[in-house]
Amino acid sequence: MGASQSVLGTLDGKIALVTGASRGIGRGIATALAEAGADLALCARDAEKLAETAELVTNTGRSAECVVADVGDSGSVAEAVVRTLEVFGRIDVLVNNAGVTDDNLLIRMTDDEWERVIHTNLTGTYLFTRAVTKPMMKQRSGSIINIASIIGIMGNAGQSNYAASKGGIIALTKSVAKELASRNVRANAIAPGYIETDMTEELTDEVKQKMREAIPMKSFGVPADVAAVAVFLAGDASRYITGEVINVSGGLLI
């Protein structure tokens, strides 16, 4: 039994659907859920990268189904949920992780830059959440985990579109939690700080050092730090927690 299972219980028998599972935080969450015992439906647009994540999942002994889907397209989202139900019969956990950035100062931001980020991050979260609501309500159980960001709480210059999308996800999470609590369906958000991913690798050393200095713990997080919280929120150890936002930021919001 792995550490995540012994401390937080097991996710054996649970089915989790993870969006943006092809890389970074999404891949880390998917593999951590598998290590805790869950079988996975993996969603993203990149089939090749999804297959790489699926291999990591199956290496843990769990099942993985790759579902190529566009989170911003309601038809594609509906098909992804139907496919997951056809393969696994139920959805116990939804992780809305898919997201993009398209940074610019507000005065220079184009309509396309605004719409792309809002549509993928916020509308995509809404569409997948709406799509799993009926099956989760019917089975009277479920955990919806939305990946927000500390930027959605504190804001950031040059990221008004991203901040608005992530702040919207937090508000959506709280509203969904209130709507679905009576059916034993929970909704919570994780707000990561600076996490080492492909995106942070593109930053200069000078920018990285400046960012580290602003963090009380003086270091970036890694996908596993976010994944550990997702495992907790997916399982019975968090059965009485809903509508919350858990910051994973090394103390940046202190």
Distance, in Å, from the CA atom of 11 to the CA atom of 207, rounded to the nearest integer, reads 39
Contacts of 182 (CB under 8 A, 6+ apart): none
192 forms beta bridges with: 248
| Selected catalytic residue, list 126, 162, 194, 240 | 162
CATH code: domain 3-247 is: 3.40.50.720
Residue 5 predicted with pLDDT over 90: no
Residue 65 predicted with pLDDT over 50: yes
Look up 162 and say whether it is catalytic: yes
Do the Cβ atoms of 251 and 196 come closer than 8 Å?
A: no
Q: What is the mean pLDDT of residues 91-95?
A: 98
Q: How far is CA 15 from CA 3, 41, 131, 140, 238, in A?
A: 20, 8, 15, 14, 17
Q: What percent of the chain has pLDDT over 90?
A: 90
Do the Cβ atoms of 191 and 170 come closer than 8 Å?
A: yes
Q: What is the mean pLDDT of residues 17-33?
A: 97
Summarised one tens digit per residue, pLDDT across range 126-150 is 999 999 999 999 999 999 999 999 9
Confidence of residue 205 (pLDDT cuts 50, 70, 90): confident
* Per-residue pLDDT at 167: 98
Helix and strand numbers (H, E) in the chain are 11, 7
Distance, in Å, from the CA atom of 68 to the CA atom of 250, rounded to the nearest integer, reads 33
* Per-residue pLDDT at 201: 74
